[in-house]
Structure 1
Amino acid sequence: MEIFSIISLKVSKIFSQYRLASMMLLTSTNIALSLINFSLCFSLLSGESFGAWIIVYSIYQWIISFDGGVGNQARNKYTIAEKNGDISLKKILIKEAFKKSGLSLLVIWITWLVISFFINWSQILSGSISIFLLEFMVVFGLLNVWSKLVNKFLFAINLGFVTIIVPVINNLIVTIGLTFLKLNLFSDLLTGHEVYYIASLYIVFSPMLNLLILYKFFNVYFCNIPKALKDELTYKDGAWFFFFQGFSGIILLALPAIVGFLGNTTLAGEAGILLRYYSLPLLILTVFLQYEWRNITLNSTKKITFELSVWNKRLSFSWVLMMFIFLSIFMLDDFILKLWLGDTVKLPLNWSFLFGLLFALIATKRFVTTILQAISSIKRPAVVSLLSLLVILVHLNMEDTNTELLLYSLIISILIEILILVLTMRYSRINHNKEGA
């Protein structure tokens, strides 16, 4: 019996590594397609039009970084329910997650419409893109967020590699569509409307693909859903997830829009190039951390293993490797950018260093915040993220400011956030160990 247990354990370990390897392979494919699509957009659109597209697409990316405030709660509770074999609770969690997320996203959309009414988008977009396209992308972004809840449940049952299939297929569709445009196959129909065609390629198919994945893996939970005896997912707890996603996302994904507000549309396009370039390692990091999430959630329920759930050697090695990757792409940035986009890219002095350092700090922060999210302790990351939001608000209201000063300020604020989170997490770990003693 002991031999069979050892064999079973090894087979399980190999299968687990195979899944992680498949996720990395799919992510690498996704990155390659993203780079191709970005270069095609760069070649198809002029300077101002490209900058305006980067602003609108960055806002779309910011929107889809939300989950309605209940996704992470649902994921953590579903992980425990899966372990305990509680089918009734799993049905309730799926129903509540999609219902409450939908209501939250409706409120977000109404709030966006109110705020957007007071923003001079025509000035920020330099008239290159209509406000209608922006609103169109926001609506589809919220629909994408709602449908992407399926990813939370897939990671909870250790099927995270499936979640990468949708963006890969979507990027493949975008690549084919942009190639047709590059070959002038639709020149008679799309002249002057290329950006609308590009936007449709990026945003329309993802929600449909996500809903197909939902039906494929979870359709058995759609029938005979028991009535919940209590609110398994609460807006009160979910609000901290929502605020954290919003505060963090506005730095990472809406930065070109902020640069466009401070400078001009063409400058926003240049910021978007570096944002896309330095965010590539984050895609790989996200895959690894999402894969680790389930183990962290399960381990955190055991006091004797809480030390392991907070930080371990694998996380340490991954952080060092990630910092090496950032250093490498910074050292090779001139070569890679010319190979990627050609000799037409002339970026401002020091921007590459500042963006590289900013994203290295964002990656470090993501290590810490993922652990806190996995143990449903998101309040502190949400609160400290206010520092960076305040930095942005101060700069937007300054008469004399520039992109370099904004980047320096964000670097300092995120470094302070990391220090606060690490110190408070260590304090919590000490207290937890004392309680278990």
Structure 2
Amino acid sequence: MKEHILKILNTLGVKSARTKNIVKHISISFFYKAGAVLANFLLVPLTINFLDTENYGVWLIISSFIAWFSFFDIGLGNGLRNKLTEAKTNGDLKLARGYISSAYYTIAGVSLFMFCVFVFLNYFIDWASVFNTSEAFNTDLNLLMLLVFGFFCIQLVVGLVTNIYLADQSHSIQVKIHFSTQVVSLFTIWILTETSHSSLLIFGAIFAALPVIILLALNLLAFSNKFKELKPSLSLWSKSHLKDIMGVGFDFFIIQIAGIVIFSTDNFIISKLFSPEEVVPYNIAFKYFSILTIVFSIVVAPYWSSFTEAYVKKEYEWIKVSVNNIMRVWLLIPIVVVIMLLLSDWFYNIWVGDKVLVPFMLSVSMAVFVMSFTFNNIFVFFINGTGKIKVQLIVSIFMAIINIPLSIFMAKSLNMGVKGVIIATILSYLPGLILMPLQYNKIINNRARGIWNK
């Protein structure tokens, strides 16, 4: 498949090795992502049938909690990605291995500490009250949250391998992992529906373990073959290496926390304001329109590390051409959004039948969000690649501060219901839509000064 893609690119006159590699991985990613999306869509009705609507709503909230936990990597993943790309670009493999070793063993220590703290706190938390569900589920929820958090702590460590692949310009690795996870998940839930009674505990434990197993296998494969010379070693842990990673990594950490507040609290807010059942139509609409987000991310995501490499080499013309090409691709988004809106009711009916009713205005709100999110990502991925993220940091903190109260105000006080939550997210996002393109233009035209260049 790779050889055919490269032949097509040569025929089209694409000469840049970096661009060829990006297009190759985008093409591969589309293949795997199509399979992952199909598996995910098939998974939803199976899961609803297995768990029922209330338990499925609770699982969606737990999934959001998992996303909240992700900030505990303290930004090391993205910091490692940038610094590792720089080290490899400069041909310093010893420094690269030092960065990897420092990141792995630091995250391992943080994860072990977090799990010990969570074991203690979990004893005192009434999860049934947190999720606004029946007290009868409390015992199972306490055990489930312990398992979910435990597996997540392991995932923080083994998940670092994806940043190593990304720094190596192997841009399709995350899509391949997602594809594997979704296909195995689909097969697993099908087996559960045939052999087991409905159980949120069994379902959650299996789904928390699956990505860990896949990532652990990838680590073993990577460090015994492709990245054998970069295998982490405790003796190479260095405070100076950690400081280098954390220099940009801590800002990424704060941005991650802000992103979690903005994007992963919606399910919890809806559950507390209304009920777990109301989380389901919100997520049905979100998953439907996220097809566009997924497709666009396949196009944009490979550019992060490539922008880092090009920026280090001062290849600004390549960056300008690449951003312009991405913007041309984005122009298709509004057109596809309108088509998806017109087909939304028909699609929901085919997908989940009459079990879930999704209001049309909720779909409209999701469509506007997708257009805003994808446009902003064009410039965010470049800025992330350069590591000049102070402006993004400030914007993200502002967005995080206003998002929750604005969501509650619009959903409850203005009586907008569930759609008010996503509208609040859109309004919170507006400053970034102005400032991120402005910073890109300043940096690429060498006019960035002060905070714009930090």
8 Å Cα contact 1:323-1:360 kept in structure 2: yes
Stretch moving more, 275-284 or 215-224: 215-224
Q: SS of the residue aligned with 2:302?
A: helix
Partners of 1:118 and 1:421 lie apart in 2 by 43
Stretch moving more, 202-211 or 300-309: 300-309
CA spacing shift, 1:145–1:367, aligned 2, 3 Å: farther
1:131 is displaced (CA, Å) by: 3.4
Partners of 2:232 and 2:162 lie apart in 1 by 20
1:336 is displaced (CA, Å) by: 1.4
CA spacing shift, 1:370–1:310, aligned 2, 3 Å: farther
8 Å Cα contact 2:66-2:152 kept in structure 1: yes
Q: Counterparts of 1:1-80 in structure 2 under 5 Å?
A: 17-64=23-70, 67-80=73-86
Residues 68-125 of structure 1: CA deviation (Å, up to 9, x unaligned): 3111121122122223322201211110121233344456667878998997642334
Gaps of at least 5 residues in structure 2 are: 1-9
What letter corresponds to residue 231 of structure 2 in structure 1? Answer: F
Residues 233-280 of structure 1: CA deviation (Å, up to 9, x unaligned): 343532211111121133323321121122111111221222222223
Residues 173-216 of structure 1: CA deviation (Å, up to 9, x unaligned): 21111112223x23xxxx35x22222133220212221221232
Provide TM-score, normalisation by structure 2.
0.82
Matched, 1:222 2:231: yes
Match of 1:199 in 2: 204
8 Å Cα contact 1:64-1:144 kept in structure 2: no
What letter corresponds to residue 278 of structure 1 in structure 2? Answer: F
Partners of 1:56 and 1:317 lie apart in 2 by 38
Match of 2:174 in 1: 163
Q: SS of the residue aligned with 1:385?
A: helix
Matched, 1:305 2:316: yes
Match of 1:3 in 2: none
Matched, 1:413 2:428: yes
Match of 2:7 in 1: none
CA spacing shift, 1:270–1:118, aligned 2, 3 Å: farther
What letter corresponds to residue 305 of structure 2 in structure 1? Answer: R
Q: Counterparts of 1:76-91 in structure 2 under 5 Å?
A: 76-91=82-97
CA spacing shift, 1:47–1:329, aligned 2, 3 Å: same
Stretch moving more, 371-380 or 357-366: 357-366
Match of 2:3 in 1: none
What letter corresponds to residue 207 of structure 1 in structure 2? Answer: V
CA spacing shift, 1:109–1:414, aligned 2, 3 Å: farther
User: Number of matched residues?
Assistant: 424
8 Å Cα contact 2:316-2:444 kept in structure 1: no
Choose the corresponding residue for 1:143, options 137, 150, 154.
154
1:61 is displaced (CA, Å) by: 3.7
Structure 1 vs Structure 2 CA RMSD: 3.3
1:326 is displaced (CA, Å) by: 3.0
Gaps of at least 5 residues in structure 1 are: 1-5
Partners of 1:112 and 1:396 lie apart in 2 by 29
8 Å Cα contact 2:108-2:157 kept in structure 1: yes
Match of 2:183 in 1: 172
Match of 2:442 in 1: 427
1:147 is displaced (CA, Å) by: 1.4
Choose the corresponding residue for 1:361, options 372, 395, 400.
372
Match of 1:327 in 2: 338
8 Å Cα contact 2:39-2:186 kept in structure 1: yes
Choose the corresponding residue for 1:247, options 258, 277, 280.
258
Identity %: 17
CA spacing shift, 1:419–1:117, aligned 2, 3 Å: farther
Stretch moving more, 38-47 or 156-165: 156-165
8 Å Cα contact 2:46-2:189 kept in structure 1: yes
Partners of 2:251 and 2:322 lie apart in 1 by 23
CA spacing shift, 1:155–1:420, aligned 2, 3 Å: same
Partners of 2:281 and 2:123 lie apart in 1 by 27
Partners of 2:327 and 2:58 lie apart in 1 by 39
